[in-house]
Chains A and B, each alone.
Chain A
């Protein structure tokens, strides 16, 4: 239906979108070229913030590396875990409903609550991990998991895996239901083993779902903040620092808002760039239209 009244229908949304997203986003470009404490007038310093971020700020570089490791870690744990369980659940069995309920339960609690709970689980003195280790006679492996630079990032990643595995399980489970049953019947007639059926039928047909899962891990990983802030906030020695926690420290604790703006733009540029590139490479442009 052609009518210029259409603009009236989108006007309220457009006003809110412009004031609270478009306009501030444009301001970010200006602030990123300035030195600014948030109070006085911003002072133009050209590309100094960007060159500092890229060439000098080793912690910012490290935070990107941490973020990428986190994304890879979440993809491996969440997908392996979610996919494995989805395949196990694919055949109907007793207790399916109970199982699905419990498996998905961690997803509905907030990231902050999950992070605080797992900080207890990793506690040196009474945490479940160390208790379990001493129970099976491995108490020499006990350590303050979040306080040790070699384990902190992995510990945070596993928490994310615990929270999100249910979501990926549901995604893969839905994808499994789409696979035509005739394929398995035909394979059975040909005498293919169950393992072969999984490998040659199930996995290839799950590829589209795997691509979606990877995209969710990339986009969600770069947007991570709450879990890290609640569990470690970059400690110890920046071993769990990610760009978003580092940006907050600069912009709001140290009042380097100009520098924080530059770091934010780099983060957004990299994360949306990778997501878009991925969408184009995997031919999912239509997802955007």
Chain B
């Protein structure tokens, strides 16, 4: 018995001995970023590991103002929210039709959409840039929202379709016998049933849109129209030697995401897992 006990003690020490350094590797960069954002530039050099001698909250204030982070935040929120709404509005009826209705060329259209799962946005960057320029949508919200919606369709339709398929078919047969129209079945019966799935799909899309850089960089070249990722790169390039200011800007960009994550952890992790394992 004593042998077993020492063994399990050793195992415990071994487990924590490996896990604690890993936690430091994963977590410390974020802690370091926040600490540095509250120091002076000199202190970052002299005392990189420790706490700041005085917490300079005004770094954050300054970064928010001179870095125009408020504007970038606003742009990112507008583009993300509008794209998520639009992609849900157009993909949920399509997903319902692909799951539950039979019509001509249905499978052809389904495969057409699913092709989008294996392609990358860079494929259409050059022609879309020309199109957006010709119809004067460069540097407008619509110029980013429309392509984002297009790129969200494949995954959204694919995921929502599988959720619709999981609903028992008897429900819709019963509704039809009661005289419900196809639109009624979709709107009043099926859609309310997949509300949690809609939330999951909305979250997966929102994360993708929020972090997207390539299209945002090329289609939004005016400073006041930049989204947060493109704005951050611009900001850090502009204040390249003012370290504490850039640290503060980074912290402002990252902090809200971390807070949301800490609050909704379980849902976020489950949602991301669904999105990744499509």
User: Hey, which bits of chain A sit against chain B, CB under 8 A?
Assistant: 1-7, 9-10, 12-14, 16-17, 19-25, 27-28, 31, 38, 81, 85, 88, 93, 99, 101-113, 116-118, 120-121, 125-126, 128, 131, 162, 165-167, 170-171, 174, 212, 216, 219, 222-223, 225-226, 229-230, 244, 247-248, 251-252, 257, 260-261, 264, 267-268, 271-272, 275-276, 288-289
In contact, B126 and A1 (Cβ under 8 angstroms): no
A-B Cβ contacts below 8 A, count: 252
Out of A21, A118, A212, A226, name the residue touching B29 (CB < 8 Å). Answer: A118
B126/A4 in contact, CB under 8 A = no
Chain B interface mostly: helix
Please name the residue on chain A nearest to B207 by beta carbon.
A108
**A13 engages B101 (CB within 8 Å):** no
A14 contacts across to B, CB distance below 8 A: 94, 109
In the assembled complex, B70 has its CB within 8 A of some CB on chain A = no
Considering only CB atoms and an 8 Å cut-off, how many residues of chain B contact the other chain? Answer: 95
A9 to B176, CA, bound (A): 17
> When the two chains form their complex, are residues A126 and B48 in contact, meaning their CB atoms are under 8 A apart?
yes
How many Å from the CB of B228 to the closest CB on chain A?
Answer: 7
Q: Once bound together, how far apart are the Cα atoms of A9 and B102, in whole Å?
A: 12
- B82 contacts chain A at the CB level, 8 A cutoff: no
Show the binding face of B for A, using Cβ within 8 Å: 12, 15, 18-19, 22-23, 25-30, 32-33, 36, 44-45, 48-49, 89-91, 93-94, 96-98, 100-104, 106, 109, 112-114, 116-120, 122-131, 146-147, 149-151, 153, 157, 172, 176, 182-183, 186, 207, 210-211, 213-214, 217-218, 228-230, 232-233, 236, 243, 246-247, 250, 253-254, 257-258, 260-262, 265, 268-269, 272-273, 276-277
Which A residue sits closest to B25, measured CB to CB? A162
Taking the closest CB of chain A, its distance from the CB of B53, in whole angstroms, is: 16
9 contacts between A and B (CB under 8 A): A1-B172, A101-B262, A112-B213, A113-B229, A113-B253, A117-B250, A162-B29, A226-B229, A248-B218
Cβ contact within 8 Å between B26 and A165: yes
Query: Are A121 and B229 in contact, CB atoms less than 8 angstroms apart?
Result: no
